[in-house]
Amino acid sequence: MTRHRSHPAGAALAAALAGCVLALPAGCGRAPERSADPEPTASSPADVCTSLVSYWVKEALNGSKWAGLDWEQKGMSNEQYEIHDEVLTAARAEERRAGRAAAFALTERETRRRCEAAKGATGSSENWRPPSEQRVPASGTHPPLS
């Protein structure tokens, strides 16, 4: 009497093929359909800056609980946070004058302009800046040198 040994790999392959044959009308063996989503494209530093800064300005205008995070938690550089503060101040004034939609439009426009002018505003995310990069406050006084 001859016994046939079971071959687990062969049994698994047979089961998979049987499943594929049963599923053939549903698309087994066909190439997947392409999604309607466009292929991702590389973003410039100005695009990333605009997206990041305008997002957080709008969150602040909406009174989001997350708007209170600090600049590091929001993923911004020092320069981006400076743009954020300036645009938020202008957007709040615009909101008082012309409403939330106008404030959002100003946010997009000003953030884009400032991020492009600063080439993405990717300056140091550290609190320390070398003296050559320190800015003089509008009052005309120099920051203390440590």
**pLDDT recorded at residue 12:** 52
Q: Which tokens hold the place of 83?
A: 């743009």
pLDDT higher than 60, residue 79:
yes
Global pTM value: 0.59
Report the range out of 17-26, 62-71, 83-92, 132-141 with the highest average pLDDT: 83-92
Name the more confident of 96 and 1: 96
C-alpha distances in Å from residue 9, one per residue of 5, 6, 12, 13, 14 = 12, 9, 5, 6, 9
pLDDT tens per residue, range 13-55 = 455 545 544 444 554 555 556 566 666 676 899 999 999 999 9
Contact 52, 59 (CB under 8 A): no
**Any idea which residue has 């800056």 for tokens?**
49
- What angle (nearest 5°) sits at the alpha carbon of residue 17, between those of residues 14 and 23? 140
Q: Given pLDDT bands bounded at 50, 70 and 90, which one contains residue 142?
A: very low
DSSP string covering 131-144? GGGPPPPTTSPPPP
Does the structure show a pLDDT above 90 at 130? no
